[in-house]
């Protein structure tokens, strides 16, 4: 059984910052098909622009995170799953929603440590807008400095690690503890993260959430299925993955690494963890919990009487 954990990185509440801060993946066959999969978009496409979500202001996605593999798009799909199925490939860091025979909508995802802890078939039995989040006892045991102060959880909102929406996977009527959800850290999409399950840009999880009903079937690929369907991939120093055939991207990434243009990911993760622990202590001291009302903060609706939550 897998349990989705989260890492604090950044977010805003009054008077304090709260933050929730490889590897195989895929593409396919011919090298010329993968010229610039890590090239960022120069502008923000309409689907990733800022939007109002029932009183919450979802910011636009920074175009530098909208690399080709991360952007939502319609693609050919040749897997065996029927129309209406969600297919998660944690190794290729793709999520497919099959919309027609031979066709799917593809989303880029971030994959946490627990994103590879489950494979097989499941069903979405719960959908939640702005879900609250509480660390499990196992998470607290593994990282007491980070999760101990947050043992009572966080209310739903844009500074919650589950983001704007969450889809909960069940198998044989039991919760798998595997989640497909939004994020408060758009820079993580397309990369491997130290914690969490499968996260999408908030704009993308809202789009998917609105399209699929409860009861939707989900297939989570294992490593062998990923290799069979997507082909071999490599993880770049930048944290993104590309086809193993894409020598252009691999060479450019290596040159940038040797020139010192890409920070050491281990050092970055250590610094983020240290900052997260400090922020977690602040949040724990604030008295805010998963039962706290989500209102009166940036990105949320105002409280009408000091106690009423906006969701």
Q: How confident is the model at residue 266 (pLDDT cuts 50, 70, 90)?
A: confident
Buried b (16+ CB within 10 A) or exposed e, 242-270: bbbbbebbbebbeeeeeeeebeeeeeeee
SS3 category, 199? strand
Check if the beta carbon of residue 295 is closer than 8 Å to that of residue 54. Answer: no
Check if the beta carbon of residue 296 is closer than 8 Å to that of residue 23. Answer: no
Query: Is residue 252's pLDDT more than 50?
Result: yes
pLDDT in tens, 267-306: 888 887 888 888 888 877 877 777 665 433 333 333 333 3
pLDDT of the residue at 268: 80
The percent of residues above 70 in pLDDT, for the chain, comes to 78
The reply to whether 27 belongs to the active site is: no
pLDDT of the residue at 285: 81
More confident residue, 34 or 124: 124
The reply to whether 4 belongs to the active site is: no
Q: Is 215 exposed, middle or buried (0-12, 13-18, 19+ CB in 10 A)?
A: exposed
Query: Is residue 128's pLDDT more than 90?
Result: yes
More confident residue, 255 or 274: 255
Pairwise CA distance, residues 23 & 19, whole Å: 25
Mean pLDDT of 253-274: 88
SS3 category, 66? coil
More confident residue, 113 or 56: 56
pLDDT of the residue at 97: 98
pLDDT in tens, 15-53: 333 333 322 222 222 222 333 455 566 789 999 999 999
pLDDT of the residue at 39: 59
Pairwise CA distance, residues 144 & 127, whole Å: 29
pLDDT of the residue at 75: 98
- Of 27, 197, 273, 295, the catalytic one is 197
Cα 141 versus chain centre, distance: 23
pTM, entire model:
0.81
pLDDT of the residue at 176: 93
Mean pLDDT of 224-239: 95
pLDDT of the residue at 215: 97
Q: How many other β-carbons are positioned within 10 Å of the β-carbon of residue 287?
A: 8
Mean pLDDT lowest for which of 31-45, 61-75, 157-171? 31-45
Mean pLDDT of 140-159: 89
Mean pLDDT of 165-174: 96
Query: Is residue 195's pLDDT more than 70?
Result: no
- Of 4, 27, 32, 181, the catalytic one is 181
Q: How confident is the model at residue 68 (pLDDT cuts 50, 70, 90)?
A: very high
Q: How many residues does the chain have?
A: 311
Strand-pair partners of 108: 94
Mean pLDDT of 112-125: 87
More confident residue, 162 or 268: 162
pLDDT of the residue at 32: 29
Handedness of CA 273, 200, 102, 43 (dihedral sign): negative
Strand-pair partners of 170: 123, 175
Q: How confident is the model at residue 4 (pLDDT cuts 50, 70, 90)?
A: low
CA angle, 70 then 72 then 77, to 5°: 100
The chain-wide mean pLDDT, for the chain, equals 81
Check if the beta carbon of residue 153 is closer than 8 Å to that of residue 290. Answer: yes
Pairwise CA distance, residues 208 & 167, whole Å: 10
């Amino acid at each position: 059984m897998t349990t989705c954990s989260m890492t604090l990185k950044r977010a805003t509440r009054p008077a304090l910052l709260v933050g929730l801060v490889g590897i195989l993946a895929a593409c396919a066959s011919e090298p010329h098909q993968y010229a610039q999969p890590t090239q960022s978009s120069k502008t923000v496409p309409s689907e990733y622009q800022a939007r109002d979500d029932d009183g919450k202001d979802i910011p636009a996605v920074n175009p530098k995170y909208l690399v080709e593999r991360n952007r939502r798009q319609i693609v050919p799909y040749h897997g065996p799953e029927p129309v209406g199925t969600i297919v998660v490939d944690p190794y290729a860091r793709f999520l497919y929603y099959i919309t027609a025979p031979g066709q799917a909508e593809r989303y880029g995802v971030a994959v946490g440590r627990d994103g590879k802890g489950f494979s097989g078939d499941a069903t979405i039995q719960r959908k939640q807008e702005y879900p609250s989040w509480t660390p499990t006892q196992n998470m607290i045991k593994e990282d007491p400095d980070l999760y101990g102060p947050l043992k009572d959880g966080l209310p739903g909102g844009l500074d919650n690690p589950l983001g704007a929406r969450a889809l909960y996977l069940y198998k044989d009527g039991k919760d798998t503890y595997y989640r497909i959800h939004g994020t408060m850290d758009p820079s993580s999409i397309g990369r491997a993260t130290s914690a969490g399950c499968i996260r999408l840009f908030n704009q993308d999880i809202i789009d998917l959430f609105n399209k699929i009903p409860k009861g939707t079937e989900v297939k989570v690929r294992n490593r062998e299925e990923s290799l069979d369907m997507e082909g071999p991939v490599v993880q770049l120093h930048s944290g993104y993955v590309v086809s193993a055939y894409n020598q252009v991207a691999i060479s450019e990434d290596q040159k940038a690494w040797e020139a010192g243009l890409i920070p050491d990911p281990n050092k970055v993760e250590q610094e983020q963890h240290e900052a997260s622990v400090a922020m977690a202590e602040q949040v724990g001291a604030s008295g805010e919990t998963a039962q706290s009302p989500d209102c009166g903060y940036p990105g949320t609706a105002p409280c009408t009487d000091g106690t009423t939550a906006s969701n």
